[in-house]
Structure 1
């Protein structure tokens, strides 16, 4: 997956939404706040779906990518890590693709993982264009998502595990450190 060029100047961005989000809209500590953040995520994902269609994707392609972005945002970032999706941290995509998806999917498929990674890069490109993340964060996410050979190797080695090999496999690309940081 090639890295895409990033506009050099904020005026190169064009807002695509009537609803404005702030970083704080995605912070939560209580259950009520978490439910509010979940609603904000659904609204963001609906706008992302429209944006995908404006990028000349078919309705089916946009739907698949929005679904994958939803999985990453709401299942992984919010529910598992309990972190704000507008405050991306280094290593989040790597841990998702190299561990979390593989270990929490009954039969992980490389093609599905690649679709998730494509959705993540599109989602953060959209957030960049809205001015919600900076260029460095976008480039970090794109770089982590582009390591597809590594993720294929991780999936293959997981599926071939036997005996007590999981602990060693898990240590190479773990989610537990990220969960403690979040």
Structure 2
């Protein structure tokens, strides 16, 4: 258990399982909103905007083998490819679905956080192997213990972006329609995740173990 004091002097308790490798992400909100803003203000079409400095070929981005993770080098490669694919996803939201730049940026930023921080960074699995269980682990546990002020409104943006990303992947033939639908269903269970957040804040004594076991991480 880690105890700390908020800026107004209120005593707050965070229940963190250090052995499981949890940590509080103090910089998340700044990164999330900064990235969302940068995407929202970048409306150039793909042909005039490099995907990244190394110009990863589209066929490589669509090759699931490039997202397999065994070594640290694999993880770095998977994250680079994921970043480039997310930029194409963002452009598709803008130009294929004709979404407002702020909405497109919010969805892309939400998917970015879920995929790169949790699916790749924590789970170290292929992003195309993610399941509904992966999403529930993210939203019902990892996101909550990782952030100082977990809240449903913020989480909704991440889940909406994640669901939209996997729908985009069905169009590319990278995941099945059933897989994307199951992920979307898990992303829609926001009432359950709100209850998980409330239960987390109400933990007393040794209650973290039971809370954690109700939705354990991989």
TM-score greater than 0.5 by the shorter chain = yes
Task: Identify the residue that residue 22 of structure 1 maps to in structure 2.
Answer: 63
Match of 1:109 in 2: 151
- Residue 89 of structure 2 corresponds to 48
| 1:61 CA drift (Å) | 1.4
Q: After superposition, what is the alpha-carbon deviation per residue over 1:66-102, rounded to whole angstroms, capped at 9, x for unaligned?
A: 1111111110011100000011234001111111111
Query: Which consecutive unaligned segments of at least 5 residues does structure 1 have?
Result: 1-15
Structure 1 SS opposite 2:128: coil
Q: Which has more radius of gyration?
A: 2
The structural deviation recorded for 1:169 is 0.7
Q: Which residue of 2 aligns with 1:33?
A: 74
Gap runs ≥5 in structure 2: 1-45, 48-56
**Distance across 2 between alignment mates of 1:61 and 1:146:** 18
Establish whether residue 88 from structure 1 lines up as the match of residue 130 from structure 2.
yes
How far did 1:126 drift?
A: 0.5
Q: Find runs of 4+ consecutive structure 1 residues off by over 4 angstroms.
A: none
Taking a change above 3 Å as real, the CA distance of residues 90 and 117 of structure 1, as seen in their structure-2 partners, is closer
Residues 23 and 87 of structure 1 are in contact (CA less than 8 Å); yes or no, is this contact kept in structure 2? no
TM-score where L is the length of structure 1: 0.83
- Between the aligned partners of 2:113 and 2:150, the Cα distance in structure 1 is 14
8 Å contact 1:25–1:40 — kept in the other structure? yes
For 1:79 and 1:121, locate their aligned partners in 2 and report how far apart those are by CA, in whole Å: 19
CA RMSD, 1 decimal: 1.7
Is the counterpart of residue 147 in structure 1 residue 147 in structure 2?
no
Tell me how far 1:32 sits from its aligned partner: 1.9
Q: How far apart, CA to CA, are the structure 2 residues paired with 1:57 and 1:137? A: 24
